[in-house]
Amino acid sequence: MKLKLLSIMAIWLCTMSNSYSQCLNGGCEVGLSRSEIKNGVFIGHYENGEKLGLGINYIYNPKGLLTSYAEYIGDKRSGVEYQQFIETGTEKAIHTFKNYSNGTVIYPAFRISKENKKTKIEVAFNEISGWQKYDGDKTLGELSVKGIIHDGSPAFIALNGKDQVMAISATVGSISLLSSETKEKYYNALQLNLEDDRLTINIFPKAGADETFFRTNIGWDMQKPEEGTWIYKRYFNNELSYKFTYEDVLELPSQKDVKEQKLQKAFDYVADQVEEYDFEKGYDGKAKDFIDMLKDIKERAERSGLDISNTYDLTMIRLYLQIGDEDNILKYALSACIKSSNSYTLISDLITTNFKQHEDLLPLIKKNEGIASSSD
């Protein structure tokens, strides 16, 4: 039983002690969450503490709004990342497309600038040479970009050797990131369409069974959200996991709240084990094992700046009643009474029902309750 207890506790404590000091809402462990990044915020889906699926970065920039959209696998960008920059006070918009494999950029990349109904297309073959105006098919070593026709509209394809890196359709009024085949080396899970200032994004992961969908206005200001909806569902059985607006995201619990919920769950679990344990049939040191375990949780919690649950004090009282340590019984009784006004009733019921040999402590505990009340 001890090994089972310790293994379960280890899982809780590991997740509770993981450092997500920049997490703002949702816990950043499972499901949709919001976290702080340099000069901005990230909103996206998490699994096991890592970014997975659609992630959106909003960067604060005095010159304009910078937003990027990408699929994440194992905390790293995978496939095409779409970045848009809307310049403040002008009609200029810059749309950048880069493909990532395990967090590394796979070239060529495209950049499309739109201003006063004029469109400029640029291409980059590597980070050093930077952006060059696209004025026709270009080749640099194994890298090439070509113009094609897609559904009657001009489109552009980027190749790395014989492998497609991405394909983009661009007209005066729209930009689309064309879908790729799952068998392709540089498969892109991100599907994007921008038309009449309406941006729609889907994520169709190659290996997973999950789909993420996002829709908003291109000029959406995260300080004054007009409309933005995340839909996350299990693809094969069409199960909807969640549907959130941006304002819903802001109402997700804070990281501290999530950790305190886990802390409470850990205390409650140990408290249940203490209540169910038959100390008369068990070995003498069992109460001390439970005490050590609870103290370890408490120390970890305090290092994270979390408030200690009243469950902790009440369980410690039960264990010290079992051992007969009166000093610690009174110590934790005072702590419990400070945290909750009904603690004395709970302690009194516990002693009169299961530990009658310690009923002589009740007047002292009652006195402690008075001290706790006067300190409020």
Question: 315 and 366 share a domain?
Answer: yes
Structural domain ending residue among the three candidates 233, 250, 267: 250
Q: What is the pLDDT of residues 75-124, one digit of tens each?
A: 888 888 999 888 877 778 899 999 998 889 999 999 998 887 788 899 99
Consecutive H or E run containing 270: helix 255-276
- Domain for residue 55, yes or no? yes
**Residue 225 and residue 293 in one domain:** no
Confidence (pLDDT) at 142? 93
Residue 14 lies in a domain: no
189 and 203 share one domain: yes
Distance separating alpha carbons of residues 230 and 214, to the nearest angstrom:
5
Q: Which two tokens stand for residue 201?
A: 């994004």
Q: Is residue 4 part of a domain?
A: no
Residue 350 domain flag: yes
The reply to whether 260 and 211 lie within a common domain is no
Q: Is the pLDDT of residue 359 over 70?
A: yes
- The arithmetic mean of pLDDT across residues 56-85, rounded, is 85
Residues 217 and 277 occupy one common structural domain = no
Same domain, 229 and 354: no
Provide the domain count of the chain: 2
Which of 193, 219, 250 is the C-terminal boundary of a domain? 250
> Whole-prediction pTM value?
0.64
Which has the closest alpha carbon to 158: 141, 175, 137, 174?
137
State mean pLDDT over 132-139: 90
Using the predicted structure, report yes or no on whether residue 258 has a pLDDT greater than 90: no
In a domain, 368, yes or no: yes
Report, in this order, helix, strand and coil percent for the chain, each rounded to 5.
Answer: 30, 40, 30
Residue 336 lies in a domain: yes
In a domain, 162, yes or no: yes
Q: Residue 284's domain spans which residues?
A: 255-375
Q: Which of 308, 314, 309 is nearest to 350 (CA)?
A: 314
Average of per-residue pLDDT across 118-133: 90
Contact 34, 44 (CB under 8 A): no
Looking at 250, 281, 296, which one is the last position of a domain? 250
Statement to judge: residues 277 and 167 lie in one domain: no
- Short-list 344, 286, 283, 277, CA closest to 310: 344
Please compute the mean of the pLDDT values over residues 306-313 and round it to a whole number: 81
Tell whether 283 and 181 lie within a shared domain: no
Q: Which tops the pLDDT comparison, 310 or 10? A: 310
| 171/306 same-domain check | no
What's the mean per-residue pLDDT of the chain? 78
Residue carrying the six token digits 């703002």: 24
**69 and 211 housed in the same domain:** yes
Residue 316: phi and psi, rounded to 5, are: -65, -40
230, 205, 210, 232: which is closest to 220 by C-alpha?
230
Are 56 and 203 within one domain? yes
Judge whether residue 9 has pLDDT over 60.
Answer: no
169 and 269 co-located in one domain:
no
DSSP code of residue 61: -
Q: Please check whether residue 41 is in contact with residue 24, taking contact to mean a CB–CB distance below 8 angstroms.
A: yes
In a domain, 18, yes or no: no
